[in-house]
A and B are shown apart, each in its own frame.
Chain A
Amino acid sequence: MSPRLRLPGLGNSTLLTVSLVLLAAVIFLADTVTNLEIAVAVFYVAIVLISVRYLDRSRVVMVASGCMALTLLSFFLTRAGSMSAGVVNCAISLAAIGVTAYLALRTAAAEATAREARTQLAHITRVTVLGELTASIAHELNQPLAAIVINGNAALRWLAGQPANLDEAGKAAERIVRDANRASALIARLRASTKRTSAKSIWSDVNQMVEDTLTLVQSETSRNHVSLRTELAGDLPQVEVDAVQIQQVILNLIVNALEAVSGSDAQARDVIVVTGLGRSNEVVVTVSDSGRGLNGVQMDQIFDAFYTTKPDGLGMGLAISRSIVESHGGRIWAEPGVPGGATFAFSLPAGNKGNVMLSSTRKPNR
């Protein structure tokens, strides 16, 4: 069982810097050794375009300025060729680098705004829907409950009368039973609508689910300069789950971790997702972060609905995650991270070997 180490996204920023510098050096050399009629310096736009994807605004401006400086430098160092063609080529290269940097930055800014707006919209929709849902559920349930209370009081008063009116008291009691059933039918209907009625349990690979989820948060990690690593155990048994729901849980834990590290001032912004096999042969997924940790958080309440540690949190994410994991026969828990931060983990019962072999024909081979 050898853990594979993977570095997606921005985890390799030094690697990126090194390759960009190398590329710039190659272009600079080519530009200097060739004669003035050949405009190699135009290729600097490639460096600008790459840097826009990974660096922030001011750094991109720095990169573009550097490229322009190199263009000028090699113009003066180049000895061979026609001077007038050299001046024109140099001017074209400088203009190309400048215009590319400007347009790329504008596009990146627009994309960021759009992403921001989308996130906000999603949050607002979620809050509104949930708020309305709760209000209407509360009202729907309150009516039969109020009727039960009133009928109960009426029955007591009919019985307390001199003489007691047993007929009326009995009718009130019958209405109590009817209204209690009505309330309970309402709850059953509610539960059915939120339960995994359409859930399809299929044999799935937890590692695959983790990797699929990571693609969803890629832009989030690079935007917040978070290093997101995975240590996925090879050779894991499959689990019989509704993959979409379990992916929701994984996504929720990762997003929580990303929020925790983005909010901290700490230098290290690390989130690590680990998969492995538990002591009693269950599959365990662990999400650890180097964020602000769980100091002062009520550990026994953190999975309760409407309990939240975030200023604008709903307190539903972990509650929903728990109900999903438990409905799959698993367990979810939280503990303080080592050395700091927090660790959230959940386990899922693993399938036996026979099932894995049966299902192996259905799943795509990786």
Chain B
Amino acid sequence: MTEPRQIVFVIDDDPAIREALDSLLRSVGLDVRCFGSVKEFIAAPRPDIPSCLVLDVRLPGKSGMDFHKEIAQSEAALPVIMMTGHGDIPMSVQAMKTGAIDFLAKPFREQDLLDAIEAALEKDRLIRKQTAELTILRDRLATLNEGERNVVARVVKGLLNKQIAGELGVSEITVKVRRAQAMRKMQANSLAELIRMAAQLGL
């Protein structure tokens, strides 16, 4: 079996629902891991690939609602789709406010679930891409020395080389050299790209 590209986690205490969801999701080519409780899910290893969680509200031990709040507040935010056998409006509003992709009342249309899963995986992919990019940019930024950093900070503010030289008390040539070095280290091909990177890094 090849390593999955993406994965759907399911937490539901009802074994019949787990089996059914496992079969349905596999039938459309998705990789699935099912769990009977939040505890089991936390104990299991999670591969570092795009994933999402289909979470039942009523669970033994920690409820799905509480676990969803925890996930939403944690660093590695995993997109969540809530489902319940006795959904009501306040509950679904709460779930959406906490950031759920969708809130499905059982029995639901399978297409609704599949659409929600697709959206959730897409969202996770995007989050992962952004996180990965940010990590690379941070690593690049770490290679800049203090002089180069000072220059970059002023370049993105829109100051001219001459003005930067004046502010830092160095020659214009030095500013040009440091600027070129910074562009090379950050792998920025243009000033516009450098500014975008700075914005991503929150400089």
Task: Please list the residues of chain A having a beta carbon within 8 angstroms of any beta carbon in chain B.
Answer: 135, 138-139, 142-151, 153-154, 157-158, 161, 165, 168, 171-172, 175, 178-179, 182
Residues B17 and A146 in contact, CB atoms below 8 Å apart: yes
**Residue-wise interface mask of B (74-113) relative to A, using a CB-CB cutoff of 8 A (1 in contact, 0 not):** 0000000000011000000000000000000011101000
- 7 intermolecular pairs with C-beta atoms under 8 Å apart: A139-B85, A146-B20, A147-B19, A147-B20, A150-B20, A150-B107, A171-B23
Residues B23 and A149 in contact, CB atoms below 8 Å apart: no
Would you list which residues of chain B between 3 and 35 have a CB under 8 Å from chain A? Answer: 14, 16-17, 19-21, 23-24, 26-28
Residues A154 and B24 in contact, CB atoms below 8 Å apart: yes
Residues B16 and A178 in contact, CB atoms below 8 Å apart: yes
Known: A158-B27, A161-B27, A168-B23. A149 touches B16 (CB 8 A): no
Q: Is B69 an interface residue (CB 8 A)?
A: no
Q: Is B58 an interface residue (CB 8 A)?
A: yes
Chain B: minimal CB distance from A359 (Å): 49
Determine the distance from Cα of A194 to Cα of B183 in the docked complex, in whole angstroms. 79
The main secondary structure of chain A at its interface with chain B is: helix
Query: Which A residues are in CB contact (< 8 Å) with B16?
Result: 143-144, 147, 175, 178-179, 182
Q: Which residue of A lies closest to B24 (CB)?
A: A154
Query: Which B residues are in CB contact (< 8 Å) with A175?
Result: 16, 19-20, 23
Query: Which B residues are in CB contact (< 8 Å) with A161?
Result: 27
Residues B19 and A149 in contact, CB atoms below 8 Å apart: no
Residues A151 and B85 in contact, CB atoms below 8 Å apart: no
Query: Which B residues are in CB contact (< 8 Å) with A157?
Result: 24, 27-28
Residues A150 and B21 in contact, CB atoms below 8 Å apart: yes
Chain B: minimal CB distance from A177 (Å): 12
Known: A144-B16, A178-B16. A150 touches B24 (CB 8 A): yes
Query: Which A residues are in CB contact (< 8 Å) with B106?
Result: 142-143, 145-146
Residues A143 and B26 in contact, CB atoms below 8 Å apart: no
Q: Which residue of B lies closest to A141 (CB)?
A: B85
User: Count of chain B residues with Cβ under 8 Å from any Cβ of A?
Assistant: 18
Would you list which residues of chain B between 94 and 136 have a CB under 8 Å from chain A? Answer: 106-108, 110
Task: Please list the residues of chain B having a beta carbon within 8 angstroms of any beta carbon in chain A.
Answer: 14, 16-17, 19-21, 23-24, 26-28, 58, 85-86, 106-108, 110
Chain A: minimal CB distance from B31 (Å): 15
Residues B17 and A139 in contact, CB atoms below 8 Å apart: no
Query: Which B residues are in CB contact (< 8 Å) with A178?
Result: 16
Query: Which B residues are in CB contact (< 8 Å) with A171?
Result: 23
Given A149, A168, A179, which contacts B110 in the complex, CB threshold below 8 Å?
A: A149
Query: Which B residues are in CB contact (< 8 Å) with A135?
Result: 86
Residues B27 and A143 in contact, CB atoms below 8 Å apart: no
Q: Which residue of B lies closest to A138 (CB)?
A: B86
Chain B: minimal CB distance from A175 (Å): 6
Determine the distance from Cα of A157 to Cα of B14 in the docked complex, in whole angstroms. 22
Residues B27 and A150 in contact, CB atoms below 8 Å apart: no
Query: Which B residues are in CB contact (< 8 Å) with A145?
Result: 106-107
Q: Which residue of B lies closest to A135 (CB)?
A: B86
Query: Which A residues are in CB contact (< 8 Å) with B27?
Result: 154, 157-158, 161, 165, 168
Determine the distance from Cα of A167 to Cα of B58 in the docked complex, in whole angstroms. 32
Residues A151 and B14 in contact, CB atoms below 8 Å apart: no
Given contacts A139-B86, A149-B107, 12 further A-B contacts (CB under 8 A): A139-B58, A146-B107, A147-B14, A148-B107, A150-B21, A150-B23, A150-B110, A154-B20, A157-B24, A172-B20, A175-B16, A179-B20
Q: Which residue of A lies closest to B25 (CB)?
A: A154
Chain A: minimal CB distance from B58 (Å): 7
Query: Which A residues are in CB contact (< 8 Å) with B21?
Result: 150
Query: Which A residues are in CB contact (< 8 Å) with B17?
Result: 143, 146-147, 150
Q: Which residue of B lies closest to A172 (CB)?
A: B23
Query: Which A residues are in CB contact (< 8 Å) with B107?
Result: 142, 145-146, 148-150
Determine the distance from Cα of A10 to Cα of B108 in the docked complex, in whole angstroms. 59
Known: A145-B107, A154-B20. A168 touches B26 (CB 8 A): yes
Determine the distance from Cα of A153 to Cα of B108 in the docked complex, in whole angstroms. 11
Query: Which B residues are in CB contact (< 8 Å) with A179?
Result: 16, 20
Q: Which residue of B lies closest to A160 (CB)?
A: B27
Chain A: minimal CB distance from B168 (Å): 65
Chain A: minimal CB distance from B186 (Å): 48
Residues A142 and B23 in contact, CB atoms below 8 Å apart: no
Residues A146 and B110 in contact, CB atoms below 8 Å apart: no
Query: Which B residues are in CB contact (< 8 Å) with A148?
Result: 20, 107
Residues B23 and A151 in contact, CB atoms below 8 Å apart: yes
Query: Which A residues are in CB contact (< 8 Å) with B28?
Result: 157
Which 7 pairs of residues, A with B, have the shortest CB-CB distance?
A146-B106, A150-B20, A153-B110, A154-B24, A157-B27, A146-B107, A147-B16
Query: Which A residues are in CB contact (< 8 Å) with B24?
Result: 150-151, 153-154, 157
Residues A143 and B85 in contact, CB atoms below 8 Å apart: yes
Query: Which B residues are in CB contact (< 8 Å) with A144?
Result: 16
Query: Which A residues are in CB contact (< 8 Å) with B14?
Result: 143, 147
Determine the distance from Cα of A126 to Cα of B33 in the docked complex, in whole angstroms. 43
Given B19, B20, B26, B86, which contacts A142 in the complex, CB threshold below 8 Å?
A: B86
Determine the distance from Cα of A144 to Cα of B19 in the docked complex, in whole angstroms. 12
Query: Which B residues are in CB contact (< 8 Å) with A182?
Result: 16
Determine the distance from Cα of A138 to Cα of B27 in the docked complex, in whole angstroms. 29
Residues B110 and A142 in contact, CB atoms below 8 Å apart: no
